[in-house]
């Protein structure tokens, strides 16, 4: 299926005159330009599955007095990330299913029917293609270009900027592109004969829990997302935004572990891209952002021999805020050395408790003890200040066994199904050495998540080897601050939450103006987003975007080239 139908030059030469709307606008649902039922029927006859009509997650609970579907199931599984991603209209953060009008009216479909509002479509696309093959995607893209439609690419719907949804849009849903193949001698097309990888190829709808299971069955492990249920997509936005992992300090980021990608561009061409074929597009797809260059149909990743893993578990109860900030700062300061030894870590602040879960693949318990001694010594030095501590080192036979423990540990977490917006910052070695105390003040204030998912191997890789923001190469820690709210919160109250988020963004930016943020874990309100998300690579990414997307079909919020579009991403300036 990995067929290159035309060379790119041919494709560009043949379709140079992109259809365009004289108003410079894309067609959305409800306008006279919207395709007719007959035109959609013709589309349906060309794809492998019936067209889909996405609905908001809670729609089965309406009308409230006579629910049309299985509302019990919706209530039971609301916070289940794998269930949500199996629904074409569902977003992991339900706020991205809603649409806020300028006058403050919110179009949404709440789970809480007692709020008394009707179930509305909000930002959920109205119709689309349930893609199973590259051919389905080619047909869908050609249709969207022909009718000048506002197109959205949706995989799991986990995006924190709502980039996999769009009001009145036509959607290509990649969730069911589920092929997984393990090949111990994978050869990228066009590569020298001696270049092979023990690789796994995932269809773009595969999710990390599925990829990990198959890798494990082959005695392998992979650099992938570390969410609590493995529901993040393995071949979609995660990779294209960068892709951090518990294995990153040892093996690099997602973008550093790809041998080949297949992708359909807006000209309808299915390309196989790697370091030897279309290396510029291969470069951009590794960190230049999802939904921007084409629709990825498969990704081939390197895999690694399954190793043992060792856990460093720390939990501290600290009621004194000054001491808690000291603890956060002190832990930050020690992270560069830990990542250089292969440690990753996830820190969670919840009121007076800081939990930190460190992991190192292939390290013995004794070596783990020695490697973390400076951290352990530091932590116990705070006991005299009223800190109550628990520190443990535990071995696991395999990384997979550790991952299974991790999932169980967080099984009650509210990671999915919550209305929220987040911002992140990539903290450099220099910041951790010199500004750890100032940073800790903000992180305490926002009850931050502290992800030690960079440094180590990530810092050793040439910053220009992938389109990814070069800020990642200096970074050791990614911090995440967020706001959340209950259903029914007014637009004015949500704006207040966003104002709080903006304060943290401004304060972190002021402390670390040279740093960046992680495109996949960020807000719509980052300062100087082009630099913040892509750094010095922005210009080159924009050139590649313009070259491979001559029809300007792929546009997402704060994605490369999106500055040419209005806020709704429907009309060009």
Q: Can you tell me the distance from the alpha carbon of 15 to that of 17, in angstroms, rounded to the nearest whole number?
A: 6
Return the ∠ at Cα 562 (arms to 560 and 563), rounded to 5°. 110
488 forms part of the interface with ligand NAG (CB under 6 A): yes
Cα separation, 222 vs 200, whole angstroms? 9
Residue tagged 């080159």 (tokens) = 540
If binding is defined by CB under 6 A, does position 100 make contact with ligand NAG? Answer: no
β-strand partners of 302 = 199
Q: Judged by CB under 6 A, does residue 163 bind ligand FAD?
A: yes
Does 82 contact ligand NAG by CB under 6 A?
A: no
Comparing CA positions, the residue from 137, 62, 129, 57 lying closest to residue 96 is: 57
Q: Residue 535's closest CA among 415, 418, 397, 426?
A: 426
Q: Which of 133, 142, 218, 489 binds ligand NAG (CB under 6 A)?
A: 133
Which is nearer to ligand NAG, 317 or 484 (by Cβ)? 317
- Among residue numbers 77 through 106, which ones bind ligand FAD (CB under 6 A)? 81, 92
Residue 291 interacts with ligand FAD (CB under 6 A)?
yes
Binding to ligand NAG in span 525-564, by CB under 6 A: none
Residue 535 C-beta: closest distance to ligand NAG, Å: 26
Q: For the CB of residue 196, give the shortest distance to ligand FAD in the complex, in Å.
A: 25
Place of tokens 């300036």: 573
CA distance 560 to 539: 9
Give least dist CB 66 to ligand FAD, A.
32
Q: Per DSSP, which regions of 73-125 are E strands? A: 99-100, 106-107
Spatial separation of the C-alpha atoms in residues 17 and 550, rounded to whole Å: 9
Q: How far is the CB of 61 from ligand NAG (least distance, A)?
A: 12
Gap between the Cα atoms of 550 and 179, Å rounded: 30
**Contacting residues for 531 by C-beta, under 8 A, at least 6 apart:** 516, 538
Q: Is 374 in the site for ligand NAG (CB under 6 A)?
A: yes
Which range, of 7-15, 121-129, 389-397, 417-425, touches ligand NAG by CB under 6 A? 389-397
Query: What is the rounded distance in angstroms from the CA atom of residue 137 to the CA atom of residue 145?
Result: 12
Contact yes or no for 254/245 (Cβ under 8 A) = yes
Q: Which of 520, 532, 562, 570 binds ligand FAD (CB under 6 A)?
A: 520
262 vs 387, which CB is nearer to ligand FAD? 262
Binding-site residue total for ligand NAG (CB under 6 A)?
A: 47
Is residue 146 within 8 A of residue 35, CB to CB? The reply is no
| Contact flag: residue 521 with ligand FAD (CB under 6 A) | yes
Residue with tokens 């190469």: 473
**Structural tokens at position 283:** 């470069």
C-alpha span between 158 and 85 (Å, rounded): 8
Interacting positions 231-260 with ligand FAD (CB under 6 A):
232-233, 236-238, 240-241, 243-244
* Contact call for residue 121 and ligand FAD (CB under 6 A): no
Q: Does 290 bind ligand FAD (CB under 6 A)?
A: yes
Closest CA to 301 of 233, 363, 224: 224
Does 391 sit near ligand NAG (CB under 6 A)?
A: yes
Q: Which does 339 bind (CB under 5 to 8 A by kind): ligand NAG, ligand FAD, none?
A: none
The correct pick among 114, 384, 412, 462 for binding ligand NAG (CB under 6 A) is: 114
Stretch 323-352: interaction string toward ligand NAG, x if CB under 6 A: x---------xx--x------------xx-
Torsion angles phi and psi, residue 28, rounded to 5? -120, 165
400: Cβ–Cβ under 8 A, 6 or more apart, which residues?
A: 212, 216, 221, 306
Q: What residue 101 binds from ligand FAD, ligand NAG, none (CB within 5 to 8 A, per partner kind)?
A: ligand NAG
**Does 25 sit near ligand NAG (CB under 6 A)?**
yes
Residues, the chain, total?
573
Give contact residues for ligand NAG (rule: CB under 6 A).
1, 21, 23, 25, 27-28, 31-33, 70, 72-73, 76, 101, 103, 105, 112, 114-115, 133, 148, 179, 192, 194-195, 315, 317, 320, 322-323, 333-334, 337, 350-351, 353, 369, 374, 376, 385, 388-391, 393, 486, 488
């Amino acid at each position: 299926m990995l067929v290159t139908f035309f060379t790119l030059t041919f494709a560009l030469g043949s379709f140079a005159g992109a259809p365009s709307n004289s108003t410079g606008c894309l067609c959305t649902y409800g306008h006279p330009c919207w395709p007719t039922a007959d035109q959609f029927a013709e589309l349906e006859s060309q794809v492998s599955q019936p067209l889909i009509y996405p609905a908001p997650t809670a729609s089965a609970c309406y009308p409230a007095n006579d629910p049309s579907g299985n509302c019990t199931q919706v209530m039971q599984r609301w916070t289940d990330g794998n269930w949500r991603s199996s629904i074409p209209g569902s977003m992991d953060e339900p706020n991205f299913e809603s649409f806020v009008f300028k006058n403050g009216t919110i179009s949404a479909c709440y789970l809480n029917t007692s709020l008394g509002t009707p179930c509305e479509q909000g930002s959920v696309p109205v119709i689309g293609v349930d893609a199973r093959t590259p051919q389905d995607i080619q047909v869908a893209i050609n249709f969207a270009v022909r009718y000048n439609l506002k197109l959205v690419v949706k995989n799991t719907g986990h995006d924190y900027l709502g980039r996999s949804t769009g009001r009145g849009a036509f959607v290509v849903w990649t969730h069911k592109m589920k092929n997984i193949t393990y090949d111990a001698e994978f050869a990228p097309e066009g590569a020298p004969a001696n270049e092979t990888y023990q690789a796994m190829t995932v269809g773009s709808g595969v999710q990390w829990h599925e990829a990990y299971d198959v890798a494990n069955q082959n005695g392998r492990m992979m650099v992938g997302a570390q969410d609590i249920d493995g529901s993040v997509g393995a071949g979609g936005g995660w990779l294209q935004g960068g892709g951090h992992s518990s294995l990153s300090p040892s093996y690099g980021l997602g973008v550093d572990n790809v041998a080949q990608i297949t992708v359909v561009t807006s000209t309808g061409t299915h390309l196989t891209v790697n370091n030897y074929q279309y290396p510029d597009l291969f470069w951009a797809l590794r960190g230049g952002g999802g939904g921007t260059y084409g629709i990825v149909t498969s990704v081939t990743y390197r895999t690694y021999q399954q190793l043992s893993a060792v856990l460093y578990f720390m939990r501290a109860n600290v009621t004194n805020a000054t001491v808690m900030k000291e603890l956060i700062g002190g832990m930050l300061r020690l992270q560069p050395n830990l990542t250089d030894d292969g440690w990753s870590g996830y820190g969670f602040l919840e009121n007076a408790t800081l939990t930190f879960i460190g992991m190192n693949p292939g390290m013995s318990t004794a070596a783990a003890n020695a490697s973390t001694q400076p951290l352990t010594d530091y932590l116990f030095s705070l006991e005299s200040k009223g800190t109550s501590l628990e520190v443990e080192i535990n071995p696991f036979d395999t990384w997979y066994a550790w991952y299974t423990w991790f999932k169980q540990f967080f099984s009650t977490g509210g990671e999915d199904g919550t209305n929220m917006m987040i911002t992140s910052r990539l903290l450099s070695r220099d910041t951790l050495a010199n500004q750890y105390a100032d940073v800790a003040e903000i992180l305490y204030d926002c009850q931050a998540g502290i992800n030690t998912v960079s440094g180590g191997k990530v810092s050793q890789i040439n910053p220009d080897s992938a389109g990814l923001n070069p800020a990642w190469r200096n970074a050791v820690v990614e911090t995440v601050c967020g706001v959340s709210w209950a259903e029914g919160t007014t637009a004015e109250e949500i704006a207040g939450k966003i104002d709080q988020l903006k304060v943290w963004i401004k304060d972190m930016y002021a402390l670390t103006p040279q740093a960046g943020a992680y495109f996949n874990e960020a807000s719509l309100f980052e300062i100087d987003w082009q630099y913040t998300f892509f750094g010095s690579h922005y210009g080159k990414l924009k050139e590649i975007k313009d070259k491979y997307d001559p029809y300007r079909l792929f546009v997402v919020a704060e994605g490369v080239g999106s500055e040419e579009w209005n806020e709704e991403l429907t009309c060009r300036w």
